[in-house]
Amino acid sequence: MPRARAPAPQDSMSITTFAIISIIKSLAVIGVLLTAVAYSVWLERKVSARIQNRWGPTRVGPFGLLQPLADGVKFIFKEDLTQPHVYKPLYIAAPMIAMVFAITSISVIPFGNWVNIGPWGTYLQITDLNIGLLVVLGITSMGVYGVALAGWASNNKYSLLGGLRASAQMVSYEVSLGLSLVGVLIIAGSLSLRNIVDAQRHLHWNIFLQPVAFFIYLISAYAETNRTPFDLPEAESELVAGYHTEYSAMKFAMFFMAEYANMVTVACLATLLFFGGWLGPVFGPPLLQAVLPVLWFCLKVFFFMFLYVWVRWTLPRFRYDQLMAFGWKVLLPLAVANIVVTALIVAWRA
Amino acid sequence: MLHLILFLFFGAICVAGAVNLLVQSHPINSALSLIVVMASLAAEYLLLGAEFVAAVQVIVYAGAIMVLFVITIMLLNAGAEQHTKGSRVAILIGVPGALIGAVLVAWTLLTRGHTGSVAMGALPGSPQDIARLLFHEFLLPFEITSVLILIAIMGAVVLASRPEAIARRHTESHQPDPLPQERQPAPQLVGSGKEH
Amino acid sequence: MTPNPYLWLIPILPLAGAAINGFFGRQSSKRAITAVALTFCGAAFAVALFIAFRFSSEAAPYYFDLAHWLRSGDFHVDFSFYLDQLSLVMMLVVTGVGFLIHIYSVGYMWDDDGYYRFMAYMNLFMFFMLTLVLAKNYLMMFIGWEGVGLASYLLIGFWFLKDSAASAGKKAFIVNRIGDFGFLIALFLMIKHFGTLDFPALFAKIQPLGVETAGAGLLTAIGLLLMVGAAGKSAQIPLYVWLPDAMEGPTPVSALIHAATMVTAGVYMVARSHVIFERAPSALTVVAIIGTLTAIFAATIGIAQTDIKKVLAYSTVSQLGYMFMACGVGAFSAGIFHLMTHAFFKGLLFLAAGSVIHGVGGEQDMRKMGGLRRYMPITFITMGIGTLAIAGIPGLAGFFSKDEILWKAYSQGSWVYWLIGVITAFITSFYMFRLMYMTFGGDYRGGSEHYEHSHNSHGHGHGDAHGHDAHGHGEPHESPWVMLAPLVILAFLSVVGGWIGIGGRFEHFLAPVFQSAPAAELAHETGGEGANQFTEKLLMGVSILAAFGGWFFAYLLYSSKPQLPARIARALGGLYEAVAHKYYIDELYAVLFVKPLIDGSTEILWHGVDQGVIDATVNNSAVAAREVSDEVRHMQSGNLRSYAGWVAAGGACVIAYMVWMGIR
Amino acid sequence: MVPLSYYLVLSGFLFVCGVLGFLIKRNIITIFMSIELMLNGVNLSFVAFAAQWHSLSGQIFVFFVMVVAAAEAAVGLAIIIAVYRTRETLNVDQVNLLKL
């Protein structure tokens, strides 16, 4: 059902090759993503340590580079506790839901340009929908259920409060996030991420055209991913660990990975929407030309990941009512105003 | 062929979710099954080519409305429903009536429905086309629905906001405290634990 | 046809007076009320005189269209007035006599609580009567017709606290309804066949039609129906029964409405419709016969009455019979002539009787009067003049008109009419002089006990309250001049009123109205002048003899040998009883019509239809609704799912219906 | 190619499931969800007809239905919360004061 937008290639190749290539791409992307997740954890620990003037993980491997592996192993072999009074089905389902949606949302993210591999050529992207952005939004919005259900199913007041906070917060910030993107969409005139990126050629990055939208997006994205300063769902000082208080071992790891996967997705989106995606100076031999865009892309995403950590250890946490008031009374009107202004300008230009 | 297979696949998921909604005794399960139905309906929309509708279906319905339901269920800590015999009418008259109506409609559609058949992605409802239609032909209804939404928001706020008088009465009569976050006493934990 | 812009003032002025008095009379003083009533009524009279002086037979008839009323298709009826010689006479009589009687009633009703009501009603009556007289079409006439009926109802039942008065008013109204029914149907027939009700247009349409010799015909039907209406209004057989009872009303009312003006409306209407009657001989014959019979019949009843007003009432009925007789033989002008003179002397007689009653403190029974000649001379003289006039003593008004009628009856009708007319004249003079002797002759028989008597039995018990208080046990006294002045004027008129008829001047004056008679009629007039001269003189002598004979017998029985009447009564026995009880006509009607009507209404309509059908329907439907809802309300269980169940079932029904319609 | 009637039957089935849920469920929230289920069934038929007649109006209607559903959900859930506060129950069989 995904309708390919680029005419020639997929039409020419048979359904089987299409399936094979898709599978290969998916596996590759998921592998890369998980690795990225693991190492963003490592990155976070390192950077936070540095910010707090510590060393951070150093033992496992050089610079503790193997630390994530060790963590994974530890999670796998830890005992998986299941409290007696939890509502089992959802208690088990919740982390999976969170994980699945977090990973799925990467599927429409283009991280590179058109490449030719031998006889076939393909986009560096699992699927290209012409409503890609909407799909990302939809899937991330579905991600709420993981948190909410976890909080509810573990039948623990801290968890419940965490879940409630998470769901309420995500729902309310989803609004301003979506609205902040409208300005970009108006300029690009398309919902396909690839078109949006193409619209930013020659350094017409949306960060310059839509600064307000960018900041709105960034803030609401942090809220969406429950990151500081909006990490009230797992505010240690108030609710032991929020919605995953009762979780342990692999289930907990899934939440963990889901969170970081979401971060990656958001960073990718920010890159694509505001920083021109893979666009950048391209030169050199064809191989290099094929690799460079991906490199630019990764660099930009890395910057955002770093920004996440940086912000986390810089800003204090909101109070819940402040959070809500900020979301509804500041971000939302701002986003609407941004839309109006953008629309007026575009209409006047045309 | 592929179309039919996909249709049957997601249709089956739909049916399963709908039936599950009925048989499940706990509202949270019903809510989840409803979410499943909606998601697979989005897939059906994609099959019909209405991709924008599908996306909005997921975002609005599954992502927003159902979240509201789930939040409410969590707020009110709704346990499994007790099977009270409140209404004989609903069972003795309503259910047969509904079934009869369903059978009649299905029979009419399958035997006498002179409707054609649709191809995969029959009507590409691309965002541009939708927008053009929505903001030209259907502009007035669009604005009216926006007003409707505004009114609905106000109504929801008014209804759900708790006047202080009610709050005091509840606290006096040992009702749960006004703030919903804090209403989850331990005995209820055990109680709700028994429910499952 | 010349327009006359003043015509409409004549009816409107009394209406204005009635409105003012009716709305503001309760608060305002009696002087103000008197001023208003007399002013407007007098103004109407003045305008009438003004128009009369400028009246010229060449210009006649005058007309004035006030406003449109009904317009449907080519049928239209307007508020328009019409004045020719006939209506001129009527107008003058009504306004003049009416004005005098207004003055009279000021004195007569002064002490009554409902003084303002009385004056308002009187003015209202004047308005309707003048509308009736001056109407240009039958529908306007009908308005006046009904209006005077209403006014008479209000005034007969003026003392509505008295049961007899109230019922008398109802009786008059109902009996009049019967007549009006005929009148209405006549109107419908006219509309249906001639498409108009305007006198000129209608008569112009009827003129070319020939005489309906065979008897049965459209004009005959219309004529007979009109006669029914006339009989109702003018108290002719068989509808005369209401008039004697109408004497329950105040005496001025009896004088104005039930003697001078309203009751003559029937005569006027017949005369106005002469074009129709002349072409319907059989209808005309019916009119003549009814008139003649009524005349003799009422006269005989009048003999035995002891109530002074009842006597006058029956005399009125019989005189009206004269007029109808005249109309019946085609002598319309004679009928109108007698109408005018009768208005004078009968009004006079009633007013005088009122003065008498007033003087003796509300007594109406002649047996308790007598010898009043000494107490109230002026009343005696004037009433004497009136008696002479009605009796037909030569030289007075009544003589000329009555003689005219008798002559016409003989010359144009048959000798039977003439004979009965003469006998009636004899009886008339007899009972009138009997009245005079019993009232004024002999010694006063009233005495002390008339006091409570007047209380328990007679109408003016509180109408003349002052009559009691002023002079404890009734020392009879003369009435004040405000009452006597009209008497004098009317007495004068009763004397000279007839002279305008000498040499047929009155007839010639009215001739242009009645000249449309078909050839058949005119033959009589110009038949052998010489012979007619002789016979006319001869018949005149006979009628004079009859008049004096009546006087003589009255003198014999009630002055010289007062014990004789009782013996005669005993001798006659049953016959006297019958006469005294008015031939039991009222009882007869009660048995024939009233009782069946009441019983039928009670049993069939009330208990049967109303309670059995209508009420039962309503009540049972209400009960049914309650029963049903008692069952159905259990659907209102307040349970959401039950409601949903009903909705689902209903939806299934709708779907099933649609599917069925689809596959059918 | 799939016969349109299949889609219609599916939507009808969803609708009837909603009706049945309304009829047999006692929990207000579940009943409310059944209403949403009905709306979804209707939406499917809208889209299917849009594909049948090749006019996007059908899809536009879906949006309006969604808007109405959203408003309805907001108000309805608020009402449910109010009801729960006063009646202390979510069982419709016990919320039946509206009767004689």
DSSP code of C63? E
Q: Are A210 and A270 in contact, with CB atoms under 8 Å apart? A: no
Chains that touch D (3 or more CB pairs under 8 A): B, C
Share of chain C above pLDDT 90, in %: 23
8 A C-beta contact, residue C157 and residue C173: no
The 10s digit of each residue's pLDDT in D6-63 is: 888 888 889 988 888 888 888 888 888 999 999 999 999 898 888 888 888 888 888 8
In a domain, B7, yes or no: yes
Q: Could you tell me if A224 and A101 are in contact, meaning their C-beta atoms sit under 8 angstroms apart?
A: no
Query: Which residues of chain C from 621 to 660 reach within 8 Å of chain B, CB to CB?
Result: 635, 637, 639, 641-642, 644-653, 655-656, 659
**Of B89, B94, B112, which has the smallest distance from its Cβ to C663's Cβ?**
B112
Residue B64 sits at the chain A interface (C-beta within 8 Å): yes
Note the ipTM here. Answer: 0.75
Q: How far is CA A306 from CA A109, A294, A317, D20, in A?
A: 20, 18, 19, 53
Cα(B38)–Cα(B44) distance, integer angstroms: 10
Yes or no: say if C112 and C459 are a contact pair by the CB < 8 Å rule.
no
The C-alpha atoms of residue B39 and residue B55 are separated, in whole angstroms, by: 10
Answer whether residue C633 shows pLDDT above 70. yes
Distance to chain C for B87, nearest Cα, Å: 6
C-alpha A44: how far from chain center? 15
Cross-chain Cβ contact B50/D62 below 8 Å = yes
pLDDT for C215? 59
More reliable by pLDDT, C113 or C527: C113
User: Residue C147: what pLDDT?
Assistant: 92
Q: What is the DSSP letter of A318?
A: P
Q: How many domains does chain B have?
A: 2
| Residues 6+ away with beta carbon under 8 Å from C528 | none
How do strand A120-123 and strand B117-118 relate by DSSP bridges?
Answer: unpaired
Laid out side by side, the sheet with C62-72 consists of: C2-3, C62-72, C75-83
pLDDT at residue C138 in the model: 92
> DSSP per residue over chain B, as a string?
-HHHHHHHHHHHHHHHHHHHHHH-SSHHHHHHHHHHHHHHHHHHHHHTT-HHHHHHIIIIIIIIIHHHHHHHHHHHT--PPP-----HHIIIIIHHHHHHHHHHHHHIIIII----EE-TT-S---HHHHHHHHHHTTHHHHHHHHHHHHHHHHHHHHHHSPPHHHHHHHHHTTPPPSSGGG---HHHHHHHHHH-
Chain segment C455-465, per-residue pLDDT in tens: 444 444 444 44
Task: Examine the pLDDT at C527 and tell me if it is beyond 80.
Answer: no
User: Chain B residue closest to A186 (CA)?
Assistant: B128
User: Which range, A165-179, B113-127, C574-588, has the best average confidence (pLDDT)?
Assistant: A165-179
Interior/surface letters C80-118, b for 16+ CB within 10 angstroms, e for the rest: bbbbbbbbbbbbbbbbbbbbbbbbbbbbbbebbebbbbb
For residue C576, pLDDT over 50 is answered with yes
The separation between the first and the last C-alpha atoms of chain B, rounded to the nearest angstrom, is 43
Q: Which residue of D has its CA nearest to C636?
A: D99
Query: How would DSSP label each residue in C213-228?
Result: TTS-SHHHHHHHHHHH
- The answer to whether residue B160 sits within a structural domain is yes
Two tokens, residue A77: 């072999």
Question: Which residue is associated with the tokens 């239609």?
Answer: B133
Contacts of C636 in chain B (CB under 8 A): none
The SS3 assignment for D3 reads strand
DSSP-derived 3-state class of residue C237: coil
pLDDT classification of A2: cutoffs 50, 70, 90: very low
CA distance B163 to chain A (A): 19
Are the CB atoms for C165 and C247 separated by under 8 Å? no
Question: How would residue C135 be classed by pLDDT, with cut points 50, 70 and 90?
Answer: very high
Task: Please choose, from the candidates B16, B48, B44, the residue with its C-alpha nearest in 3D space to the C-alpha of residue B29.
Answer: B16
With contact defined as 3+ CB pairs under 8 Å, the chains touching B are A, C, D
The answer to whether the CB of A140 falls within 8 A of the CB of A265 is yes
Task: Give the residue from B17, B46, B62 where a domain finishes.
Answer: B62
Name, in order, each residue with C-beta under 8 angstroms of A93's C-beta and a sequence gap of 6 or more.
A149, A153
Is B179 within 8 Å of chain C by CB?
no
Which H or E run contains C68? strand C62-72
Q: How far is CA B154 from the centre of its chain?
A: 22
Closest C-alpha among C507, C347, C309, C476 to residue C412? C507
Distance (Å, whole) CA C335 – CA C401: 8
In terms of CA atoms, which chain D residue is nearest residue C639? D96
Q: Which of B55, B62, B64 has its CB closest to that of A131?
A: B55
Interchain touch D–C (≥3 Cβ pairs closer than 8 Å): yes
A174 touches chain B (CB under 8 A): yes
Contact of A329 with chain B, judged by CB distance below 8 Å, is answered with no
Type of residue at A278: W
Question: Is residue A120 very low, low, confident or very high in pLDDT (cuts 50, 70, 90)?
Answer: low
The reply to whether residue B81 touches residue D71, judged by beta carbons under 8 angstroms, is no
Helix, strand counts (H, E) of chain D: 3, 1
Query: Is residue B187 included in any domain, yes or no?
Result: no
CA–CA gap between residue C99 and residue C39 (Å, rounded): 10
Q: In this predicted model, what pLDDT tens digit does every residue of A160-202 receive, in sequence order?
A: 888 888 888 888 888 888 888 888 888 888 888 888 888 888 7
In terms of Cα–Cα distance, which of D66, D5, D13 is closest to D39? D66
Q: Structure tokens of C28?
A: 């305002």
List the structure tokens of C260: 């001078």
Measured CA to CA, the distance from residue C275 to residue C195 in angstroms comes to 17
- Mean of all residue pLDDT scores within chain A: 82
B126 touches chain A (CB under 8 A): yes
Give the pLDDT confidence of A231-246 residue by residue, as tens digits: 777 777 777 777 778 8
Q: Which residues of C301-332 are buried (b: 16+ CB within 10 A; e: fewer)?
A: bbbbbebbbbbbbbbbbbbbbbbbbbbbbbbb
Average pLDDT over residues C509-536: 62
Quick one: pLDDT at residue C126?
A: 93
Cβ atoms of residues C512 and C60 within 8 Å: yes
Q: Distance from B50 to chain D by nearest Cα, in Å?
A: 7
How far is the C-alpha of C118 from the C-alpha of C121, rounded, in Å? Answer: 5
Question: If we measure between CA atoms, which residue out of D74, C398, A19 comes closest to residue B148?
Answer: D74
Boundary-marking domain end, from B40, B62, B84: B62
Domain assignment present for residue B113? The answer is no
**Structural domain spans, chain A:** 81-112+129-349
* Interface present between D and A (3 or more CB pairs within 8 Å): no
Instruction: Give per-residue pLDDT as tens, C276-301.
Output: 888 888 888 899 999 999 999 888 88
Tens of pLDDT along B70-80?
Answer: 888 888 877 77
Q: With 0-12 CB in 10 A as exposed, 13-18 as middle and 19+ as buried, what is A105?
A: buried
B16 lies within 8 A of chain D by CB: no
**Strand blocks (E) in A199-240:** none
Q: Which domain holds residue B43?
A: 1-62
CB A267 within 8 A of CB A308: yes
pLDDT at D99: 64
Residue type, B178: P
d(CA B81, CA D81): 16
Cα–Cα distance between D22 and B91 in angstroms, integer? 11
Comparing CA positions, the residue from C57, C45, C112, C209 lying closest to residue C467 is C112
pLDDT exceeds 80 at position D84: yes
Which candidate, B137, C232, C156, A81, places its Cα nearest to that of D61?
A: B137
Contact A156, A247 (CB under 8 A): no
Q: How far apart are CA C310 and CA C366, in angstroms?
A: 10
Q: Which residue of chain B comes nearest to A87, CA vs CA?
A: B196
Amino acid letter for position A130: N
> Which tokens in the block code for residue D16?
């009837």
Share of chain C above pLDDT 70, in %: 93
Residue C208: band (very low, low, confident or very high) from pLDDT cuts 50, 70, 90: confident
Rg (C-alpha) for chain B, rounded Å, is 22
- Please, is A350 exposed, middle or buried when counting C-beta atoms within 10 Å of its C-beta (0-12, 13-18, 19+)? exposed
- Partner-chain contact D51 B130, CB within 8 Å: no
Q: Assess contact for A216 and A235: CB atoms under 8 A.
A: no
pLDDT digits (tens, 9 = 90+) for C543-568: 888 888 888 888 888 877 777 777 77
Written as one string, the DSSP assignment of A258-317 is: HHHHHHHHHHHHHHHHHS-TT-S---SSHHHHHHHHHHHHHHHHHHHHHHHHHHHTTS-P
Provide the pLDDT for residue B90: 75
Question: Which residue from A164, A171, A178 is facing B74, i.e. has the nearest CB?
Answer: A164
Q: Is C371 helix (H, G, I), strand (E, B) or coil?
A: coil
Whether B87 has its CB under 8 Å from any CB of chain C: the answer is yes
Per-residue burial over A286-310, b if 16 or more Cβ lie within 10 Å, else e, is eeeebebbeebbbebbbebbeebbe
Domains of chain D as residue ranges with CATH? 4-94 (1.10.287.3510)
Rounded to whole angstroms, the Cα distance separating D76 from D71 reads 8
**Per-residue pLDDT at B6 exceeds 80:** yes
Partners of A123 in beta bridges: A114
Give the mean model confidence (pLDDT) for residues C410-425.
87
| Identity of the residue in B51, B56, B74 whose CB atom sits nearest the CB atom of A148 | B74
B105 touches chain C (CB under 8 A): yes
Could you give the C-alpha distances from C180 to C76, C77, C375, in angstroms and in order? 22, 19, 45
Residue identified by tokens 């009330």 is: C606
Helix C85-109 crosses helix C115-134 at what angle (to 10 degrees)? 180
CB atoms within 10 A of CB C79: 20
